[in-house]
Amino acid sequence: MKIPKRKLFLLIIFAYVAFSLYAAYNVFFSTKVISRVHRVVKKETVSGGVKDGGGAPFLARDWNPWEDEQVDYNSALTKKREAFKQHLARIDKNKATRYRVQIWGKAAIGIYLWEHILEGPLNPTDKVAQWREGELQSGKIDFSFYTGPAVVQGHVPLDMNSLVLVLNGREPQKVSYSTRWLEHVQALVKSRTVSHVAVVLLGNEHCHNDFIGPYLKRNGGFVNLLFVVYDSPWVNDKDVFQWPLGVATYRQFPMIRPNAQLITSNRPYLCNFLGTVYKNSSRETLMQVLKKSGLEEECITNAREKWLPQETADSLRQYQTALVQSELTLCPVGINSECYRIYEACSYGSVPVVEDVLTPGSCAAGSSSPLRLLKAAGAPFIFISDWKELAAILKRERGMSQEQRVDRRRRLLEWYAGFRQQMKERFTEVLEENFFKNV
């Protein structure tokens, strides 16, 4: 039977297509699927041998032709899980490296430490509250702070074993009170309630601080670290460190936040001095120089004969007004060369003119004393050795432009902020290194 040409042509085309598909099918399974079969057969041959004593190797019952893709997926998933575990481990480690330190403020300089240096909050905000407390983080340390008359021995919630005790050692009555606190903490150390102790001490103005010597660890005591005000000869930057006197927080001097007006204002006075003038002191010389030079009109002065332990609201306002309206604040020596006035002037951007004279007593007499802490920090003050130099200083002040004064004021405020930050970092790092280096 003769097949029509048209049908014959269609059959040839159909056969060609079928052959092509068959060839493609074989190529696919020979290169992809069969390769998987070979791998599985090889795997089962090695692990399970030959089934029925010489027959063809057997395949795994749950053989999966997409095994490679699953292996890659599972491998990537495993890597992600491991990375996440490591991330969690790092978080846990960071949490573990945070330390806790409690501060008991039993002297007014504790407020300067907490609010001005560490910049911590205090609640309640009422400055005369019986009990005040706060918390903050600095470096790797979580600090808590307690202060006020109601903070008494045995009634402070102690929930950590590292303690900083802030004490006043200026006069016999304060020393007696501080000693009772030291003995209380010593009992806590003996009972292993407390492991590490540091003391921030408002030292004696003549540097007579012998009462605390037996409590230092170097002398067989329990106090690991001492931060002491004034140029004590004990300072070695190993276990005894110098600490700034700061502002008179006991007279409610506040923490000042500089603003543009404080920096750029046109101050009407060249200088100020409000304070006690002691008989036969350099302060008498200072007042005489101002009077003889006719400078009383250009400087705010309010001399009193008797020391005023507490500020009234009016006297504090008058003092702050003098600081903010004066280019310079005159800082004659008292019992010690370092005085609150220096730091209070810095707070308002009024340049301290400091009498650079060592006062009598046992304070260090090295080449950088007095005020070695401030000098080491590069304090931008005007240092004089005699108040007779004041007339020439004020003459130079009259010749300065407003731009020069504003620039100097800005640099002073920036320096003081940097100084407080430096003390914060130093305090934190010293505690970390000495309390927790083996943790």
Confidence (pLDDT) at 419? 98
- Fold for domain 99-243? Rossmann fold (3.40.50)
The one-letter amino acid at 30: S
Q: What is the pLDDT of residues 231-240, one digit of tens each?
A: 999 999 999 9
Confidence (pLDDT) at 33? 39
Angle at the Cα of 308 from the Cα atoms of 305 and 309, rounded to 5 degrees: 150
Confidence (pLDDT) at 311? 66
Domain 255-423 belongs to what architecture? 3-Layer(aba) Sandwich (3.40)
* 67-96 and 34-48 helices, crossing angle to 10°: 70
Confidence (pLDDT) at 100? 95
Q: What is the pLDDT of residues 267-296, one digit of tens each?
A: 999 999 998 888 878 888 898 888 887 777
State the Rg of the chain over Cα: 39
Mind listing the pLDDT tens digit of every residue in the chain (439 residues)?
555 555 555 566 665 555 555 555 454 444 443 343 334 333 333 333 433 444 333 334 444 455 565 666 667 767 766 776 665 555 455 555 789 999 999 999 999 999 999 999 999 999 889 999 999 999 999 999 999 999 999 899 888 899 999 999 999 999 999 999 999 999 999 999 999 999 999 999 999 999 999 999 999 999 999 999 999 999 999 999 999 999 999 999 999 999 999 999 999 999 999 988 888 788 888 988 888 877 778 899 987 766 555 667 888 899 999 999 999 999 999 999 999 999 999 999 999 999 999 999 999 878 899 999 999 999 999 999 999 999 999 999 999 999 999 999 999 999 999 999 999 999 999 999 999 987 6
Nearest to 357 by CA among 285, 270, 251: 285
Confidence (pLDDT) at 31? 43
CA distances from 34 to 316, 405, 414 (A): 95, 89, 77
| φ and ψ at residue 207, rounded to 5 degrees | 65, 30
Cα–Cα distance, 217 to 239 (Å, whole number): 9
CA distances from 303 to 276, 342, 419 (A): 6, 17, 30
Query: Domain ranges in the chain?
Result: 99-243, 255-423
CATH fold match for the domains 99-243 and 255-423: yes
User: Do 124 and 132 meet the contact criterion of CB atoms below 8 Å apart?
Assistant: yes
- The token duo for 290 is 């101002």
Cα–Cα distance, 179 to 186 (Å, whole number): 10
User: Do 299 and 326 meet the contact criterion of CB atoms below 8 Å apart?
Assistant: yes
User: Do 355 and 283 meet the contact criterion of CB atoms below 8 Å apart?
Assistant: no
Cα–Cα distance, 347 to 152 (Å, whole number): 32
Q: How many Å separate Cα 397 from the centre of its chain?
A: 37
